[in-house]
Amino acid sequence: MIVVVPNVMGICLFSPPLDSLGNSCRGVAFCKKLVSTFNFHNYDCLVHNSNIKSDPRRRDIRERDRLIPVFHVARAGDLPTMRRLYMQGEDLNTSDHDDRTVLHIAATEGYETMIKFLVNVAKVDVDKKDRWGRTPLDEAKFFKHDHVSRFLEKAMKRPEQHRKDSVSSLDTDDEIDDDGFPEKPSFTID
């Protein structure tokens, strides 16, 4: 059985037993479930109960518009706006159509302060791979942003339980006592 949804997809189904017309019984049941769940028919949108079925071809405007400001801000290197979006509750781990995150974009551009904010404050996933299997570290190395590469390497080397700590707070030369805390303050006032 071949199922075609114009301009969307095609599905080939075969799962015996077959009915009297030679169609797969399970395939027919699948198609009925598919049509009852999704809005594929041209006249389904005319029915006033449109909330029963969802149309996978139609993207929610709010979903589409949410991604654009975050990625635009990352591309521009606008850290104050990125902080504001973070404080408003935007998900900075979200990815675009290529599975690239805000951290990928910032690493590509070499924005070290934005990357430190994303890793230390927003706690974004530093190991996330895009659709080509590249991490933000790979992007920083490819575009020869050495300072960003070193920072992301430190961030990726942290054990999973310390990912909530900032990378900068772990970079201390102070003497550490048995409890894991510095024996003296890690700052001086001159």
Mean pLDDT of 30-45: 79
The CA distance from 26 to 125, in Å, is 41
Q: Which two tokens stand for residue 127?
A: 């190991």
At 85-134, the pLDDT tens digits run 999 888 899 888 889 999 999 999 999 999 999 999 999 999 999 999 99
Length of the chain: 190
Classify strands 2-5 and 9-12 as parallel, antiparallel or unpaired.
antiparallel
173 vs 134, which has greater pLDDT? 134
Give all domains of the chain, ordered by start, each with its CATH number: 2-46 (no CATH), 61-165 (1.25.40.20)
**Would you give the end-to-end CA distance of the chain in angstroms?**
79
Average pLDDT value for residue range 134-162: 90
pLDDT of the residue at 188:
37
Token pair, residue 19, equals: 């009915």
Average pLDDT, the chain: 80
Contact 71, 105 (CB under 8 A): yes
pTM above 0.85, yes or no: no
For residue 51 the two structure tokens come to: 């909330």
Q: Which residues pair with 5 in a beta bridge?
A: 9
Decide: helix, strand or coil at residue 124.
coil
Q: CA torsion sign, 168 to 174 to 176 to 177?
A: negative
For residues 172 and 136, give the distance between their C-alpha atoms in angstroms, rounded to a whole number: 25
Is residue 23's pLDDT more than 70? yes
Backbone angles phi, psi at 61, to 5 degrees: -60, -40
Q: Of the candidates 86, 88, 87, 89, which has an alpha carbon nearest to the alpha carbon of residue 103?
A: 86
Closest to 75 (Cα-Cα) out of 98, 104, 113, 117: 104
